[in-house]
Every structure is written in C-alpha cells, then in structure tokens.
Structure 1
C-alpha cells in the first residue's frame, strides 16, 4: 500500500492500541499532526503547554497502566525540552515512545533552521543518547516499519525504558509502498527465570539465616509481583523493606512492612538492614540514598551480611555490593519460583524467624513513640507530619499520589503508606522537579475514575504552573497540594545540616534578601482561579482535611496552597553524604556494624 510516512506511524500507533499522543505542535511535525487527525477517534492527541510536561505525562501513564504511549515534538527546542522527562523515565525504568522531528533529508548538513550539524548531520539523536534505551533515525519512508517495530520491542523488553524515533520531517509527507508492521508482542512475554541451582542456593541461605529481610523496588512493581512477594513474605514470616517505587506492592499496614531505608527512611527499616544476616533484594538497586551513601552500619552491613540480588538487568547486579548469589530474572517469576521451592522443601514454619519478628515489632514501637505525638499537633504554619497524616486519613484507598522532588518527598518516603501498587509515583533515580506536577495529568488519563493528587513543592510548582491550564482544557479533575514553605526547602535543609546554617539562595524573599526579609511566593490559589480551576489557601491545621475533601468531592482541577513549617525537618534514621563534606549521625537510632 502506498502510504505517507506519517500514515505509517499513525496506523502503527492504532494497531499497537496506543490511546494517547502527548505532544506540542511545531513546523516540523505538522505533517504528523495531519495524519493523527485521521485517527483521532482511536488515538487522542493531548497538547500540554510544554514538551517536558508531555514527557512526564507519558512516563506517569506507563507507571500507572504499564502500557506505553507516545509523545510528539518538533525540531530543535521542542525536542530538546524532552531531555528532562526522558532522563527521568530512563532512571526509573519507565517507557514511552518519544517521536521527535528533524530537518528534511534534502537539507541535512546545510545548517537549515534548527539543525544540529557540528559533528554530524541532523545530529539530535546524539543529544538524547544518554537518556534513552535506543534512538532510531530512519531516512526513508520504507525504513519506518522496521524502526517502529524495533522501537516498541526495545522499549518494553527486559528493563523498560524510553525510546526515541527521530523523523526527518519530509518523511511525514513523502510516500512509499510499505506495509504497517505487526504489533509488538514483547510486553510481558519475556520473563527470564532463575535456575534450579540458584534457587537451591537461596533456600540454603534462608536455612542458615536467623534474621533475613526482603528489600524490594520498582522491578517488583513493573513485573506486578506484589501478590507473589506478599505470599512469599507471609509464608516465611519475613519483614520487607521497600524503595519508594516499590511502595504499595506489600500491605502498608502490615507490621512486617518496614518502609523505606536510608537517611530519610523509617527507623525499623534501617534497623532491620543493619542487623540482618541475609538480604534478598528483588528488583531494586543500592543507590546512595537507599544505602546511607554506602557507609557501613548505617543502613547495611555488606559484605558481612549475605546478599541475594535479583534483577532483570544484569548491569545492576553487584554494582555497589557484590552478591553472594546474583540472579538475572523477572521479579514475579523469581518470587513464584522461590515460593514453590520453599513449599517443596517444607523446612520453614511460622516459628522459624519468630525471634526476628519480635525484634522488628520492638523497633516499630520505638519509632511510633518517637514520631506519633507530632502527627496530631495543631500549629500555624502547619507541621509536615500533620499534612501527611491528614492526607492518609482523607484520601481514599484508590488514590494515585504524584510526588515531586523536594523536602516534602522526604516526608512521604518516611511516612506515607500507599494501599495499592502503581499508586505512589516518584521521580526517584533522577529526582527531577516538575515530574510530580506534570505527571498527575498522565496518571489521571491512565485512571480516569480514580482520584489523582499531586503533592508538590512551591519551587517545583512555580517551575511548571502551566499544568493547571491543561487540566482545565481537558477537564481533568487533578488536585495539586502545594507544600508552601517559601524555600527550596530540601537544599535549605542541607545548608543548615552540613554548612552550619549559612543559608543563601535557598529561601524566597521580596526586597531584602535573607533572614528578616519578607517571605514571598505567588498566590497559588489565585493563579488556579485565573486558569479556571478551583483554588484554596490553607494556613491552619484544622482546615486542611475539609479543603482536601472538598476538592475531591468537586471533581474539578484544584490547587490547594498549604503553608508548611519549613523549620521542621524529617528525622534522619540513616545518613547521607555529599563528599567530601562529612556525613551526619542519625537523629534517631544509631549505626551498628556486625
């Protein structure tokens, strides 16, 4: 069939059942927009006000649905704005197809409008190379079918990640006799398993252990291994430490669910990590924040503690801690295999690790006695713990929480208890500001019947306030709760914790800069109302619950500006270092080296 290049792309998106393209128009992609017009009943075009937002929306959509969508940007600056969202998605193993447009092939290497040509003609894929799994740049229409099929297969095979299809814009309009390729069947089909020999080694390590613990992450979420991991944890009676992207995979209200580990982790999680004699790590990695910057005794005690490391990506095995047993496997398959092996061995019963569970329960009780009084404190401005606790009570079980980077994220890592998998969205690996602000739009499109709430800092919201326009345009009832502490709070806290309180360039003042000046922020609620959304300002603790409940009830876009006490800092239970600055001791608990 003779087809335009844009028609090949559009028909492949239809065949692949891609429901959305998030994109911004430009002279370089109007040919693609014209083809999308013909399939608008099957593929919805959503146009936010910034390309970075489009990428974050696609990223969040995948995290909620585990189905990839596409983005569309024009040549030059429009596609360059995608770098942040692609880096965020790659760092957190989230997938979407980024269709970027480039200069026409007939003009390559002649320095036409918006060409990067210093080292190679039409060299934009080199810009994206570090932030995608693969970039494809077909130069003829008959190259598109293979590039599209390979792009989708690459995107969702193994460890998911974003893929770039860079299209010279003449291909959108030029024709060729081509066939639309068959849809990708890779998603969910490639599930490597552990060998019988490795499973036997894990069972032997469990037999020898007295204080084992699971540490799980986004790999468990992506493989939808939550039920299998929960069954395994309960069968063995073992505690589970969760990374932020693994939260919700195991029941949050179970005493064996310990929460996050590291500087801003929960005390029971750090205690379990310090004292465990065996760690079974499933689908996560030991980055600096979940390892107390690899300081022995603060979160982990490797190599004295034995380590089973399971991941679908072989590059992650042994990156920071050499495993006793390293296994390349799908997380769900591994959990099901280990559960079957344990049942077959009949070596474990409810009493096997009873003493270990008693220790863990004691740490839970210590932590609760320390933190619980502040959760009900009525103050002005509002204490951070009160905000987390109020949202935990007011938001329904099926809420999707979209969190931005900032000090508020530290509080939610430490205390939030998501009740479902794929319902706590974090920019973890790259920690990009704007992800939570923009991602909630993609989450709402992925789950239109569920409440979607973004908790974002005042700094991050000010970077990306245009999201409210898009929510009003497309009638998306997203709620933004702005954590307003009049500062880049996370960095201000570093200045106070590591630099003796020499605060500079981290707080928002009008006129006189620095302490004693007048604190300044825009009226976020007024901004929301100017966009056509609802807007509220909350300065008293007792008003917060009713404001959030009203926003959910109204089912309209809404911004709630919540004034937070920025001088209350999360209690560290591990540590974190910015070398060569010395690391700090925990505010609660103390390191323990085996």
Structure 2
C-alpha cells in the first residue's frame, strides 16, 4: 500500500472500471476531485452540461445504448439534489450509473456548515437520495474509499442494474491514506443465473401444449442482450411477441410475429392476443399499469384464466402484480438458451405451428391497419401526429436511436413505431420524467457516435431543459431535436377533456387575455444557442427538413406544429381511481366465459 490522495484513488478507479465519461457540474465541494480528473482526462472525459438533471439523463442513456457505465459528479447540496428526478428515472428503468456526490467535510459534520443537511443526522444527503438508488455509500475516511467503490461498482451492475451513490465528504478528495488497489467491481452481464432444470422442463411442456401462446418481453430482455435468442425461440415455435416500450426491438418489429406494444395505447392486435391467449410467457417484463390496462381483466390480460409463466432477474417483480402459475428467477437470455437447448434435446421440429392462432392475429392486425391508415396518408395543417411517425419511419435509418419524453407524442410512437433492434428506443417509462428525452439523446450520441440520434420531445418537456442546446454546441454533439409543438401539456389536457367535460385549466399554453396559443420560437431559440433551427407547419415539408438535418451532422432543432386535437386511438384502458376508466376507442374488452 502507498500513501495516496482520495481524489487520485477515485480517478484511478474510474480508469480501472473503464468508465469513459463523467457527466458533472462543478461546485466548491468537487474542485478537489475535478483537479485529479484532469490527470486522467485522456481516459475519462468530463462533460459538463448546464444542469445536474441533464447530467444524469446523459449517463442513463449512455448505459441504455452501450451497456457501459458512466459516472455523474455533483457538488454539495443543491447540485446533488438537482439529480433526484434523473436518478428516479434511471432506477425505475434499470440503468446503472455511478452517482458521485460531494458532501461537507467530516471536520464540520453537524455544525451546520454551508449546504449541510443535519436536521435528523449529520451530513444527511444519503436519506435524500436513498429512495432513487440501489444503495448509497458514505465513506468518512480515505481508507474507506477502496471498499466503498468496489461495492458500489458491483452493486450497480449485479442483478437488476441501477444507479448507486457514493456520497463523499469533500475533504477526502485531498486527504491522503494508505490505499490498496482494489480489483474491478463491475460485473454487468457476467453473472447470469438460469432457471432450475424442472422449471425449464415445465416451461417447454407448457409451450408445446398451448394453442394460443404469447411471449411478453420487457426491458430485461434488452438488458440481457437476448434478442437473438428471443428471435430464434419465437420463430422456432411460431409464438407471437408483445413488448413493453423498453423491450421494443428485441424482436425486429417488422417481423410478422411482432405484435407491438400492449396496454391503453398499444396496438389492437397486441391487446387482442393478450386477452385471448391461453399461455403468456413473460420474460424480463413487469406488468406495470400502462402495459396491463391497470390490471383490469379483459382489456390486456386475463389472468388467472390465462396461464402465466413469469421469468425475471428481480424476484420482487415475480408476484408484484400477478401471481404466476410458475415464477422463475433467471436472466432472460440464459433462460431462453435453456429452453432452446431443451427443444433441441426433444428434437422439436421447426415447421410452422399454431396456424389458426396466427391467422386470427393477422385478422386483428388488418382490422387495426385499415382503421388507422387514413390518418397516415392525410396532409393537413396543423400536421396530423401520424405524419410525424410515418415520416420518421421513412427517413431515419434502421439503426437510428430515438429518445422520448413523457407526453402525447410518446403515446403515438409507442403505438406505431417499429424498432428494428433493441436499445434504439429510449423511453422515460417507469418514472416518466419530463426532460429525459432532450437530455438523454446527448448521452446516446456519445455512446453511438456513428449513428443518427433524434429526440422527439414535447414542447413542454423541451422547455424544461433548453440548456441542452448549449451542451450540444460546446461538445460538438450532432443530434436532432424534433419538438412536438402542440401548444399544451397535451396528454393531461386530453385527460381533462375526457374526464371533466372539456373543462381545460392550466394545461394549454396561452398568452394574454385573448387566449392566443403561445410558445417561444423554438427555432430562433436554437439559433441563438448556435444550433441550426427550422420551423415546420406543413406536413409536406417535414420529411425533407428531417433529411436535411441529418445530413448536416451538427446539432439541429426542428419545431413541428402538430394538431393537438387528434388523439392516439386507445385499444386498452388506464385507470385513474376513483374516476371510471374509459372504454377503448377501438375494440372492446373480452373475458373468457
């Protein structure tokens, strides 16, 4: 062991852990560590966005796209508090992030120094951050850093990934101690538990016996990188696949076996298959309220009438919302490989199966496509939402990465986008944080610099984080923002229209007493920041503008004026208790007799 400053040890550990970026905002508490990061800047680049929330969203997206961990760095007090929403998004959507926060020096604990929280415990930021991370560590001596960092790196990448926090009193960055170099702690994708032999046998028996099976896959499938195995299983056994938004693309969504998203704003064929299935094999999916029509029987699923086999790495998900007939704690890819091996051992043929079931699903798909087709073909002002989805599908390459905020625009893309591969569609799903999409696309581009990266974001969400323009220009990150401008908090305004007789209040963007629709000139705002800006009000112009933006290979914003009065056609349901849930706009609920 050798005497070493804590800041040096942290910087060297980031290099050892192969963490390529620190997304951080400086502060008095972090200057001692930033000075040490200067020495490793060729291996760990510090990127400083203009807000800590954006720093976390960038690290989140970097992990989602690359499955590599990035770190964040925030200073004592408000800077660290600013990242709470971003960490909540990362935690609920299972993104590993090493969130380093500075705290007051140990010499001043409980004396109420600048930015200390001490009402209940000294240097008490841990209790602020604890609900949104897997674990918060607070070493209070330099000698505690090696163990804390090793455990933090292992915790964030083992099992279900998620953010962890290292809350470090800032005197440790400059103080010295006897520090031994610890082994690498990160273990993402290394520890992959499988199902028991009996569970694998029972699963294969159930698949072979089922007449109307469905595979339901979520983010766990993408995190396990099990797309090729999923595709082989689906095609071998002719099983249709329904996916959550974060599972989209694990089976190419242009494949006939891909039914799309399920739930209130799902595709009709997905909800029909879910409620008519006799077996659902759910892998790496958690049955949240929006993909389960708020657990109302007959709208998306019919458990317990339908047999459920639920496979997930996180044991807490296995009985959270439904009680499975068979619960299996396992990594998605490992488990599917076990199933494929058992099918091969039984010499199960690869000839087409389930013809009647697939024909029935194809009929539902054709009904749905006929119903929605007119909107995709229409040109009008303001622009129909379907045109934005259609032109993005026409213009963007198959490997383009899209990020979305929460909002009505996201509902349209969930319902109609066809992801060709996993990790191409970045959603703020579990916590639904606004500002995620415009910020995350920056981290996505750093993870995949050779791919087209586009943020489709609401006007409300973009206005929360407009400083992303500055970061893109400062660090030359060539992304495209498509601002879905409907002059409203559109998704919530639609709830007011649907549940409260159109009594809109506080959801439309108006200026002055004459109630004229108002938004800033987003394109001019972009140009003021050094970003190329365009405004599109005619649907005929959008595809060409998007093509030009991609060719520029620089930061570009497109302000698109979209009709706020055209809503995604619901095919499932969503409950806001105690309000009475609305019935689907297309199709009806169905329960077995």
Give the alignment's TM-score, normalised by structure 1.
0.99
Is 1:304 matched up with 2:305?
Answer: yes
- Residue in 2 that maps onto 1:536: 534
Q: Distance in 2 between matches of 1:260 and 1:478?
A: 26
SS in 1 for 2:262: coil
- Residue in 2 that maps onto 1:496: 497
- Residue in 2 that maps onto 1:581: 579
SS in 1 for 2:230: helix
Deviation at 1:184, TM superposition (A): 2.1
- Per-residue CA deviations over 1:278-329 (Å, capped at 9, x if unaligned) read 0000001111100101111000000000000000000000111100110000
CA contact (8 A) 1:279 1:307 kept: yes
SS in 2 for 1:289: helix
- Residue in 2 that maps onto 1:376: 377
Map 1:282-297 → 2, pairs under 5 A = 282-297=283-298
Deviation at 1:583, TM superposition (A): 0.2
- Residue in 1 that maps onto 2:331: 330
Deviation at 1:391, TM superposition (A): 0.4
Is 1:200 matched up with 2:201?
Answer: yes
- Residue in 1 that maps onto 2:345: 344
- Residue in 1 that maps onto 2:406: 405
Deviation at 1:347, TM superposition (A): 4.5
Is 1:124 matched up with 2:125?
Answer: yes
Aligned with 1:517 (options 507, 515, 518): 515
Deviation at 1:420, TM superposition (A): 1.6
Q: Distance in 1 between matches of 2:130 and 2:476?
A: 35
1:349 and 1:183, CA in 2 relative to 1: closer, same or farther beyond 3 A?
A: closer
SS in 2 for 1:559: strand
- Per-residue CA deviations over 1:11-52 (Å, capped at 9, x if unaligned) read 000111111000000000000000001111111000000000
Gaps of 5+ in 1: none
Deviation at 1:377, TM superposition (A): 0.5
CA contact (8 A) 1:57 1:439 kept: yes
- The number of equivalent residue pairs is 591
Map 1:174-213 → 2, pairs under 5 A = 174-213=175-214
Q: Distance in 2 between matches of 1:442 and 1:68?
A: 11
SS in 1 for 2:455: strand
- Per-residue CA deviations over 1:342-366 (Å, capped at 9, x if unaligned) read 2222356534311111111111111
- Residue in 2 that maps onto 1:232: 233
- Residue in 2 that maps onto 1:150: 151
Q: Distance in 2 between matches of 1:207 and 1:444?
A: 43
Which one is further off, 182-191 or 359-368? 182-191
Deviation at 1:208, TM superposition (A): 2.4
Is 1:269 matched up with 2:267?
Answer: no
Is 1:569 matched up with 2:567?
Answer: yes
Deviation at 1:200, TM superposition (A): 1.2
- Residue in 2 that maps onto 1:526: 524
CA contact (8 A) 1:217 1:247 kept: yes
Q: Distance in 1 between matches of 2:499 and 2:230?
A: 39
Q: Distance in 2 between matches of 1:342 and 1:336?
A: 10
Q: Distance in 2 between matches of 1:189 and 1:309?
A: 22
SS in 1 for 2:290: coil
- Residue in 2 that maps onto 1:481: 482
SS in 1 for 2:144: helix
Q: Distance in 1 between matches of 2:293 and 2:464?
A: 30
Q: Distance in 2 between matches of 1:369 and 1:449?
A: 37
- Per-residue CA deviations over 1:495-518 (Å, capped at 9, x if unaligned) read 111222111100000002xxx620
CA contact (8 A) 1:256 1:360 kept: no
- Residue in 2 that maps onto 1:550: 548
- Residue in 1 that maps onto 2:97: 96
SS in 1 for 2:406: coil
Q: Distance in 2 between matches of 1:294 and 1:475?
A: 45
CA contact (8 A) 1:194 1:327 kept: yes
- Residue in 2 that maps onto 1:356: 357
CA contact (8 A) 1:11 1:180 kept: no
Deviation at 1:185, TM superposition (A): 5.0
Q: Distance in 1 between matches of 2:585 and 2:189?
A: 43
CA contact (8 A) 1:6 1:173 kept: yes
CA contact (8 A) 1:138 1:144 kept: yes
1:300 and 1:348, CA in 2 relative to 1: closer, same or farther beyond 3 A?
A: farther
SS in 2 for 1:526: helix
Q: Distance in 1 between matches of 2:503 and 2:272?
A: 32
Q: Distance in 2 between matches of 1:81 and 1:96?
A: 15
- Per-residue CA deviations over 1:327-347 (Å, capped at 9, x if unaligned) read 000000011111111222235
Which one is further off, 72-81 or 414-423? 414-423
CA contact (8 A) 2:438 2:468 kept: yes
SS in 2 for 1:194: coil
CA contact (8 A) 2:237 2:352 kept: no
SS in 2 for 1:501: coil
CA contact (8 A) 1:248 1:423 kept: yes
CA contact (8 A) 2:157 2:186 kept: no
- Per-residue CA deviations over 1:95-146 (Å, capped at 9, x if unaligned) read 1100000000010000000000000000001001100000000000010000
- Residue in 2 that maps onto 1:590: 588
- Residue in 2 that maps onto 1:22: 23
Q: Distance in 1 between matches of 2:181 and 2:474?
A: 33
Give the alignment's TM-score, normalised by structure 2.
0.99
Q: Distance in 1 between matches of 2:334 and 2:570?
A: 35
Is 1:4 matched up with 2:1?
Answer: no
Q: Distance in 1 between matches of 2:27 and 2:144?
A: 23
